[in-house]
């Protein structure tokens, strides 16, 4: 059973955590790794180095949109390829993210969190909540 009184605040919590995570990862790539260092990393794992800036900007701008609830659920779904790409990069390193070069559990968790946000919606206090329209009756669980 979904508690319709509190569910919007649960979605808000999910949205805040996910938005801050994307912003933190963009900050990490900008300030700690640097864009040039991140581009070099992408090259080492077989991805084009030119993807560094688009990934950084997607994480930063996407994180801000998710955090503020500006079409956040759509942005979470649009960022799934970034998260799935990170999952593929870290998959060979093993399960735990503190393994050398990071494991795959954290990117997998974030991908599922972004998918959940896309399915649940933006929740309370969203600037511009996005609505998905289905041609079926709503389901109560």
Local confidence pLDDT in tens for the 141 residues of the chain? 899 999 999 999 999 999 999 999 999 999 999 999 999 999 999 999 999 999 999 999 999 999 999 999 999 999 999 999 999 999 999 998 788 888 899 999 999 999 999 999 999 999 999 887 766 555 555
- What was the pLDDT predicted at 131? 84
In angstroms, what CA-CA distances link 140 with 1, 2, 4, 12, 137? Answer: 7, 7, 10, 20, 10
Domain spans in the chain, listed from the N-terminal domain onward: 7-120
């Amino acid at each position: 059973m979904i508690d319709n009184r509190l569910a919007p605040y649960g979605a808000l919590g999910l949205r805040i955590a996910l938005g801050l995570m994307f912003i933190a990862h963009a900050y990490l790539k900008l300030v700690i790794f640097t864009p040039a260092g991140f581009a070099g990393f992408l090259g080492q794992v077989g991805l084009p180095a030119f993807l560094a800036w688009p990934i950084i900007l997607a994480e930063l701008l996407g994180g801000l949109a998710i955090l503020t609830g500006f079409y956040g659920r759509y942005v979470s779904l649009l960022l799934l390829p970034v998260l799935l790409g990170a999952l593929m990069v870290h998959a060979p390193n093993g399960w735990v993210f503190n393994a050398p070069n990071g494991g795959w559990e954290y990117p997998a968790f974030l991908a599922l969190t972004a998918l959940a946000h896309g399915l649940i919606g933006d929740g309370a206090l969203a600037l511009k909540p996005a609505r998905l329209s289905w041609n079926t009756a709503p389901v109560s669980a």
